[in-house]
Structure 1
Amino acid sequence: MSFSSAVLAEIRQRIPDNRVFDDPVSTLAFGTDASFYRLIPRVVVRVQDEGEVVDLLALARKHQVPVTFRAAGTSLSGQAISDSILIVLGDQWNGHEIRDNGRQIRLQPGVIGAQANAWLAPRGYKIGPDPASINACKIGGIVANNASGMCCGTAQNSYHTLAGMRLVLVDGAVVDTENAASVAAFRNSHGELLAALKKLAINTRNNRELADRIRHKYRLKNTTGLSLNSLVDFSDPLEILTHLMVGSEGILGFVSAVTYNTVPEYPDKATALLVFRDVETCCRAASVLKTQPVAAVELLDRRSLRSVQDKPGLPDWIHGLSEGACALLVESRAPGPDVLEEQLAHIREALAGFPLEQQVDFTRDAGVSGQLWAIRKGTFPAVGAVRPNGTTVIIEDVTFPIDQLAEGVTRLQQLFVKHGYNDAIIFGHALEGNLHFVFPQGFGDPAEVARYEAFMADVAQLVAVEFGGSLKAEHGTGRNMAPFVELEWGHEAWQLMWRIKRLLDPDNLLNPDVVLSEDPRIHLKNLKPLPEADPLVDKCIECGFCEPVCPSEGLTLSPRQRIVIWRDIQARRRAGEDTRELEKSWQYHGLDTCAATGLCAQRCPVGINTGDLVRKLRSEKASGQAVANQLARHFSAALKATRFVLAGASGVERLLGAPLLTRLSAGVRKVSGDRVAQWDPSMPQPVRFVMPVPGSADDRRPRVVYLPACVSRTMGPARGDKAQDSLMAVTRRLLEKGGYQVVFPDTPDSLCCGQPFASKGYPEQAAGKKDELIGALLRASRNGVDPVYCDTSPCTLQIREAAAEAGLALFDPVKFIREHLLERLAFEPEQTPLAVHVTCSTQHLGEAEGLIDIARRCSTKVVVPEGIHCCGFAGDKGFNVPELNAHALRTLPEQTAGCAEGISTSRTCEIGLSRHSGLDYHGLVYLVDRVTSARATL
């Protein structure tokens, strides 16, 4: 039976409408993962609990429609897409439990891998898997793909560190291996299934040739096909079942919780880059290092080194390396410095006989180490950044036996030449013989598809047949290698995998054509187009690394999804299609709800700032040029009007009370079609800037130019806030306490950094206001002699480059306190719990850790809420699109419960933070001023 309206109707009966998506924008957005395939789901369902998964599986069985589970969608082989029902994880799958002081951790599938490690870090542990996507991928995907990484190897992957699992089978059965009652009930209800698995295991072990082949395959790093090693490693059928789930890519069931045995995270590390004259010498050295105390050994061929040789901070000698050069990036880790030094001595001794062309010897300097790892981590993005528009970047993932690694590299390079992949590069995890090769690939015409088909056939023959290696070491089989599983494993093992599949999913409803497929051309179907859309985003490889930091992800679209939709609109326009309906939906989903903070660029492998595209499109749609010009010319009048509105609202609040005014405001907003901002008790009172009387000419204190942002000059504390002094008053008090003479630029009420204009799509007016401001600051600072203090981090960020070009020393609150006030002030930390919000602009300014450090000087109990990278207030969006702010801060109340106060560095952000936490959020200076006194020695 195919998907029908009846299926959708039943889904809507079981799942609330706000978590069921069948509109063209949502289905297209979720039709994309990090692979080069695309399938458009008929419906996307965001599930919040296990019961909903069971219900949806029952519906799928009833109507015989396929289901695919999706975590973060960072999979590279086409595992996380569907043309039927796509089930994605909602917010309620982030539970964790740390056990035995960090030696074990139980995780739900929605937890991001890096977050799990952040929870474990204070105890000195981490989870074993360390995929390159760990900052974005989720535990569900890590388990489903048996993902590994640079230090994981085979011993520390999910399969080998699994301690327990809770899973859901296609028939709706749930079993938790850590719950005795659950296990007993499952053994009773599913005895026949367990008996069948046990029989398969016995038969496999008795088939010596097959058992030996399985053991051989898993001596290598291998994720091709199902985890047949479970049949020879375990005799308990429940252990077999849970280990079959690892690496099954959702074709056998749904993993709703997993418990890991963790591994130590050693604090002392040393890193080296060793360049050998040829591949053979490099690979022989890697073989020697296999027995040495190393945590990671990464191989980079000459092409991969060339791809990153112009990156800042890298050694100049990379340019002059010989054509056949090949490098190893080596890292050793230890529980202490003495042990580390002993390990390094052993490593150096082992490598003493290998001549080097160049090297960066082992260093413990974190900065140098970071630069060396930037070489390795920059290779994949480097190819992505220079690929021709309209092509994708393919990253393949194979394993050669370590003693044949050199020949394997050479033979791969020969295949690149044979098939014309002249830009392909090779790098990988040398200790495991695991190589990644990356190349740009177009699928726009049949000739390119045919070239790819021929190349992959040769790769499969080379790796799987000639070398007996694995075609997928850690990226999972997916659709990409499904046609080659039989070639790699042989017919008997392939049929064994199918028996397991039919035993657990007899109707083939779970993620069909992934891992196991009878279609020999499935890897050439449903290839994803990457049409040109805009130079700002054309290099996007749709990896999804940006998504965890986006405040609108889960509400409307993520940065990746915005690019997907805009690409589709542009392609449809070029094809002459009517895109009006799609663009109508895009206006809200793509433009109105984008905070445009640019955090996505920090996570993007190729540095794409989706906010730049959004601002550009807003500019193209902006129709109020005359109004913008008037506001720019008469900015002080606009501030007066703002104060007037705030004063009026404050007066009404006094008369009617906050609860009644809140209800009336909600009604007015509804009647206005959401064009009038919602009032609530977090709204600020007006504040008026009064130019202070200049200091005396003989004042010998150092001067600082104080630039109060326009929000600081208009928006004071809320009426119910315990702190009623304005930010300007507190800032001036703190600066003077630190021994500074505070001066102000002339006519401050007419000054603006330009951010309000830029965010609305008026770049010319923004540039004009910025230039005007820089001129005023130059005059006030005596042409840059005096430092300039800006009290709001977004404004600081907006003018940072222009200020630097003008020779101004510009500081946000964090940097000024850190560099100029810490030594001038004595701190008496408070005992009350304090919540800290690190704004987007503070992150861009590189002051996130500085803010947290200052907060910890002020309070012994600092809480930094997890997973809130951007509050979503975004200037005035907290007023005009309040659902964005609410969505971004949906976990804030729970995380800040028990805190007495919150701090930040943006007045508008603080409004939203106060609104959604119930706390009073203030600027950092309020806290610092309250807990400090001037040092007597000054």
Structure 2
Amino acid sequence: MSVKSRLAPLIPPHRLIDDPLRLLAYGTDASFYRLIPKLVVKADTEAEVVAVLAACAQENVPVTFRAAGTSLSGQAVTDSVLLLLGDGWNGAVVEAGGARIRLQPGIIGAEANRRLAAFGRKIGPDPASIDSAKIGGIAANNASGMCCGTAQNSYRTLAAMRLILADGTLVDTGDAVSVAAFRASHAALLESLGQLAEQARADDVLAARINKKFAIKNTTGYALNALVDFTDPVDILQHLMIGSEGTLGFIAEITYDTVPDHADRANALIFFADAALACRAVAALKTTPVSAVELMDRAALRSVEGKPGMPAMLADLPADAAALLVESRAGDQSDLAANIAAIVAALDGIATIGGVSFTTDAVEGAKLWKIRKGLFPAVGAVRPLGTTVIIEDVAFRVEDLAAATTDLQALFVKHFYTEAIIFGHALEGNLHFVFTQDFGSDAEIQRYGAFMDDVAKLVVDKYDGSLKAEHGTGRNMAPYVEMEWGKAATDLMWRIKEMLDPAGLLNPGVILDRDPQAHLKNLKPMPAADVLIDTCIECGFCERMCPSHGLTLSPRQRIVGWREMARAQAAGDVVRRDEIGTLYDYHGLDTCAACGLCATACPVGIETGTLIKALRGRKQGRMAQAVGQLAADHYGLLMKATAWGLGAAAMVDTVAGSARNRRRLPTMAQPALQGGGDGADAVVYVPSCAARTMGPALDDPVTACLPDATEALLKKAGFRVIFPAGLANLCCGQPWDSKGLADIAEAKARDMAAALDAASDHGRLPVIMDTATCSARLKSFTPVLDAVEALHDLILPRLSLHPIEGPVLLHIPCSVRKMGLEDKLLAVAKACATQVVVPDGVTCCGFAGDKGFTTPELNAHALRKLTVPEGCHEGFSANRTCEIGLADHGGIPYRSIIHLVDRVSRRAEG
């Protein structure tokens, strides 16, 4: 039998994946390795994880666990069975007034912190990927970050854990009954672990070695400090699981002791003549009340020069300059002022460029951090075609930091990595270095191998530092573990592996590997595929935003698939190209919402939907172009037919008893060019196509269509309403753009822009659009206000509001997020209702224009986590088609936020 056939009676077929496109897609993580799994299993429960482990054991097949796949060292890929976290791992329970939090592995780190924000707490680990990385990966890699250091990482803040061993045994270390049963059933294992710990503690040289290695950041190999820090074998076991990268067992739940999250913060960007001076300053800051100290060398600063939002003075820095970004946090302003004074005093006597100036302004602080956070993507975005961007991280004692930085820079020169930059968490002696690498030839692979050998010698032989500080050992440092730790300590690691995974089936090749060349194998190709996506570094940060992720492909996976087709085409491998291409039509093209939210999370700003729309356009034949042009030329008639068609469908659905998408016919008559209103101020109002054709649902107690409600609200606010001439034929072009008919879409948008220019007296009058998708598109062609900003900035100040008793649901459409209007939409809603709920886990609704009708599974998948709180009877948004899908899946009416404002408002006196 096969693993799949063993699992088929237990796991639904859509969660057992073995088609070539998705196997390829899941063979990619954020590292520079690629291994194609034979089977991908989406497990939703602990019982399913146990079943997968049993099936793999019966077939003697390895298995690798994967959370978000943002791992940088190759620990989340396999050529065997890949076990993915499905939708069933999102539990989070705050305990003890925020002092602890119990988390399942599928929760994103930032979401855990959102749950704790009301308590002024957060989890200790704070990796740069916290907005995308899941708790399972954060714990399994012992990921740290800019502020947590070695005192607040997962190892140090672990309170309890539910874990599943290779033999399928589940133990909850926070449950006395579970622990007692485990002590009885696994007495031999626990005795062996206890003996191993006793041997480690009894060996003074080894114990001292372990303590020294973990005095600085270190994720190379296993957490041997568990052997000297704890005596209870259960404590040893759960702490060994931290940083074990899925090679010892599965973390089904983790309970963290939380740490304070102080709201008052101060930041300073301090420049020095060279890195040595900057590192001297780091040593001086070590004992001061700083939360983070980030080092940036001159090459790093140069990589962001001239970019939007960057200080102009970066270009004027000396050739060897370096900078420190310093942050301090405190419980109140008084303590923060004292912190700043202590930091400034510590730096007295160390020469700086421009002095030391702190800001407590959150906006200014964000600008400073933008410099630091822009370094990695800056290198990735300008790398030569066909190369990959590699980020390594090492750690040294702070007193060695200056010399080590200089030595690393010398290695860049020696091995011709002239574009390499250095930055990092200097307070912990943790340096990241980023460079680009071509793996397309043996010579380039050997260059990389020689460079990594020299890095290892520098870090280990000269400074006795850590080859992996926080990214995990993975595959690319596994051959160097013994070099760093020595034989005695590495033998301990092998014994731990054999105790907990005697068959060697859990993520083999990760952390420990006896092949000295393992890090130079299974390297991921990065062929040029399309200028729209060639800068993608495949980090996976986009995936949390994508409505189709988990249904078909994520943006990262769409790019991986397209790159493979481009590679196969260039290699003349027509069979492979067609094999992937046939599947790509549905998984890549048809189910992409093209919402653009991926770009908001992408470090290099790629909007994968732009590629997908271009590919759709390339597939369109002359007939599709002709039909599209015909629709554009006779748009008014088409919209009238659409409205009547929806009305007829509503009648049919009513007779058939179906509730889906039944709409009233819009009641808006053809407007006069100048509507009524007794105010002197005039505005141009543009009802969108969707607002003009899709009235309220038949079962919605509110019967007014959106254009009527908007016009009434504008008049109530004292505006004279003007409609553009030829409104019936006007469209922003979005329907054609989404189909890839870019030329027609642009022509329609330009026609509309011309009409709005005329109606607004060449921009003298504000133009208001009632649908966010259309507003966002039109902003590229002509000045236009989305209804959200018009409500917030122009309309609410003229009204007296009487908020309704909540709760009400609020959906924030993709276009609102992309326009940066999220806060304004939330503010408008909160001004109109006493309780506003934004559902967790819902980004894009997946309706995507007409895909809610043509590809309803996308809409259903995107809204699978939509829940309606008890007592909530209505929801609001800012996009007509989104509201249709939301109402259908939420089971309550969804309307435009304009309806809510109209309901609760009256004209303000004066």
* TM score, norm. by length of structure 1: 0.96
Give the 5 Å matches for 1:449-848.
Answer: 449-578=445-574, 579-623=577-621, 624-654=624-654, 656=655, 660-662=656-658, 680-693=659-672, 701-803=680-782, 808=783, 810-848=784-822
Contact 1:57-1:170 at 8 Å conserved across structures: yes
Question: Whole-Å Cα distance in 1 between the matches of residues 618 and 493 of structure 2?
Answer: 55
Contact 1:36-1:77 at 8 Å conserved across structures: yes
What is the letter of the counterpart of residue 902 of structure 1? G
- Structure 2 equivalent of residue 884 of structure 1: 858
Contact 2:38-2:79 at 8 Å conserved across structures: yes
Bigger Cα displacement from structure 2, 898-907 vs 506-515: 898-907
Q: Give the superposition deviation at 1:7.
A: 2.5
**Residue 451 of structure 1: SS of its match in structure 2?**
helix
Bigger Cα displacement from structure 2, 232-241 vs 274-283: 274-283
In structure 2, relative to structure 1, the CA distance for the partners of 1:503 and 1:730 (3 Å cut) is same
* TM score, norm. by length of structure 2: 0.98
Say whether residues 1:918 and 2:891 are aligned partners: yes
Q: Give the superposition deviation at 1:219.
A: 0.3
Contact 2:217-2:395 at 8 Å conserved across structures: yes
Say whether residues 1:53 and 2:49 are aligned partners: yes
**Residue 258 of structure 1: SS of its match in structure 2?**
strand
**Residue 502 of structure 2: SS of its match in structure 1?**
coil
Q: Give the superposition deviation at 1:785.
A: 1.0
Bigger Cα displacement from structure 2, 242-251 vs 118-127: 118-127
Question: Whole-Å Cα distance in 2 between the matches of residues 931 and 50 of structure 1?
Answer: 48
Bigger Cα displacement from structure 2, 846-855 vs 295-304: 846-855
In structure 2, relative to structure 1, the CA distance for the partners of 1:228 and 1:251 (3 Å cut) is same
Question: Whole-Å Cα distance in 1 between the matches of residues 104 and 741 of structure 2?
Answer: 45
Say whether residues 1:935 and 2:908 are aligned partners: yes
Contact 1:471-1:481 at 8 Å conserved across structures: yes
What is the letter of the counterpart of residue 592 of structure 1? D
Q: Give the superposition deviation at 1:694.
A: 5.6
Bigger Cα displacement from structure 2, 372-381 vs 895-904: 895-904
Contact 2:679-2:718 at 8 Å conserved across structures: no
In structure 2, relative to structure 1, the CA distance for the partners of 1:789 and 1:515 (3 Å cut) is same
Question: Whole-Å Cα distance in 2 between the matches of residues 632 and 445 of structure 1?
Answer: 50
Question: Whole-Å Cα distance in 1 between the matches of residues 521 and 831 of structure 2?
Answer: 58
Q: Unaligned stretches of 5+ in structure 2?
A: none
Q: Give the superposition deviation at 1:682.
A: 3.2
Q: Give the superposition deviation at 1:837.
A: 0.2
Bigger Cα displacement from structure 2, 856-865 vs 879-888: 856-865
Q: Give the superposition deviation at 1:896.
A: 4.1
**Residue 832 of structure 1: SS of its match in structure 2?**
coil
Bigger Cα displacement from structure 2, 691-700 vs 310-319: 691-700
Question: Whole-Å Cα distance in 2 between the matches of residues 108 and 374 of structure 1?
Answer: 31
Contact 1:688-1:714 at 8 Å conserved across structures: no
**Residue 779 of structure 1: SS of its match in structure 2?**
helix
Contact 2:30-2:69 at 8 Å conserved across structures: yes
Question: How big is each residue's C-alpha offset from its partner over 1:646-676, in whole Å with a ceiling of 9 and x where there is no partner?
Answer: 121223345x1xxx343xxxxxxxxxxxxxx
Count the aligned residue pairs: 906
In structure 2, relative to structure 1, the CA distance for the partners of 1:84 and 1:697 (3 Å cut) is closer
Contact 2:97-2:119 at 8 Å conserved across structures: yes
What is the letter of the counterpart of residue 96 of structure 1? A
Q: Unaligned stretches of 5+ in structure 1?
A: 663-679
What is the letter of the counterpart of residue 831 of structure 1? E
- Structure 2 equivalent of residue 671 of structure 1: none
- Structure 2 equivalent of residue 677 of structure 1: none
What is the letter of the counterpart of residue 629 of structure 1? Q
What is the letter of the counterpart of residue 664 of structure 2? Q
In structure 2, relative to structure 1, the CA distance for the partners of 1:693 and 1:563 (3 Å cut) is closer
Contact 1:705-1:781 at 8 Å conserved across structures: yes
- Structure 2 equivalent of residue 866 of structure 1: 840
Say whether residues 1:355 and 2:351 are aligned partners: yes
What is the letter of the counterpart of residue 22 of structure 1? D
Question: Whole-Å Cα distance in 1 between the matches of residues 355 and 309 of structure 2?
Answer: 15
User: Which of 425, 438, 445 in structure 2 is aligned with 1:442?
Assistant: 438
What is the letter of the counterpart of residue 930 of structure 1? R
Q: Give the superposition deviation at 1:897.
A: 4.6
Q: Give the superposition deviation at 1:686.
A: 2.1
Q: Give the superposition deviation at 1:197.
A: 0.6
Bigger Cα displacement from structure 2, 681-690 vs 483-492: 681-690
Question: Whole-Å Cα distance in 2 between the matches of residues 625 and 930 of structure 1?
Answer: 44
Question: Whole-Å Cα distance in 2 between the matches of residues 601 and 203 of structure 1?
Answer: 52
Contact 2:688-2:769 at 8 Å conserved across structures: yes
Question: Whole-Å Cα distance in 2 between the matches of residues 72 and 614 of structure 1?
Answer: 23
Give the 5 Å matches for 1:7-26.
Answer: 7-26=3-22
Question: Whole-Å Cα distance in 1 between the matches of residues 677 and 541 of structure 2?
Answer: 56
Question: Whole-Å Cα distance in 2 between the matches of residues 652 and 182 of structure 1?
Answer: 58
Question: How big is each residue's C-alpha offset from its partner over 1:221-278, in whole Å with a ceiling of 9 and x where there is no partner?
Answer: 0000000000000001000000000000000000000000011110100100001111
**Residue 285 of structure 1: SS of its match in structure 2?**
helix
Q: Give the superposition deviation at 1:924.
A: 0.3
In structure 2, relative to structure 1, the CA distance for the partners of 1:695 and 1:19 (3 Å cut) is closer
In structure 2, relative to structure 1, the CA distance for the partners of 1:359 and 1:736 (3 Å cut) is farther
Contact 2:668-2:705 at 8 Å conserved across structures: no
**Residue 716 of structure 1: SS of its match in structure 2?**
coil
Question: Whole-Å Cα distance in 1 between the matches of residues 301 and 266 of structure 2?
Answer: 21
**Residue 536 of structure 2: SS of its match in structure 1?**
coil
What is the letter of the counterpart of residue 318 of structure 1? L
In structure 2, relative to structure 1, the CA distance for the partners of 1:781 and 1:205 (3 Å cut) is same
Contact 2:829-2:836 at 8 Å conserved across structures: yes
User: Which of 240, 249, 253 in structure 2 is aligned with 1:257?
Assistant: 253
Question: Whole-Å Cα distance in 2 between the matches of residues 466 and 117 of structure 1?
Answer: 39
Contact 1:273-1:359 at 8 Å conserved across structures: no
Question: Whole-Å Cα distance in 1 between the matches of residues 103 and 167 of structure 2?
Answer: 23
Q: Give the superposition deviation at 1:200.
A: 0.5
Question: Whole-Å Cα distance in 1 between the matches of residues 146 and 627 of structure 2?
Answer: 55
Question: Whole-Å Cα distance in 1 between the matches of residues 355 and 558 of structure 2?
Answer: 43
Question: Whole-Å Cα distance in 1 between the matches of residues 448 and 176 of structure 2?
Answer: 51
Question: Whole-Å Cα distance in 1 between the matches of residues 258 and 68 of structure 2?
Answer: 22
Q: Give the superposition deviation at 1:489.
A: 0.2
- Structure 2 equivalent of residue 390 of structure 1: 386
Question: How big is each residue's C-alpha offset from its partner over 1:321-353, in whole Å with a ceiling of 9 and x where there is no partner?
Answer: 111111100000111111100110011011011
Question: Whole-Å Cα distance in 2 between the matches of residues 651 and 869 of structure 1?
Answer: 32
Q: Give the superposition deviation at 1:359.
A: 5.0
**Residue 436 of structure 1: SS of its match in structure 2?**
strand
What is the letter of the counterpart of residue 594 of structure 1? C
**Residue 614 of structure 1: SS of its match in structure 2?**
helix
Question: How big is each residue's C-alpha offset from its partner over 1:413-442, in whole Å with a ceiling of 9 and x where there is no partner?
Answer: 111111111110000000100000000001
Contact 1:69-1:254 at 8 Å conserved across structures: yes
In structure 2, relative to structure 1, the CA distance for the partners of 1:775 and 1:218 (3 Å cut) is same
**Residue 9 of structure 2: SS of its match in structure 1?**
helix
- Structure 1 equivalent of residue 239 of structure 2: 243
Contact 2:772-2:816 at 8 Å conserved across structures: yes
Q: Give the superposition deviation at 1:693.
A: 4.3
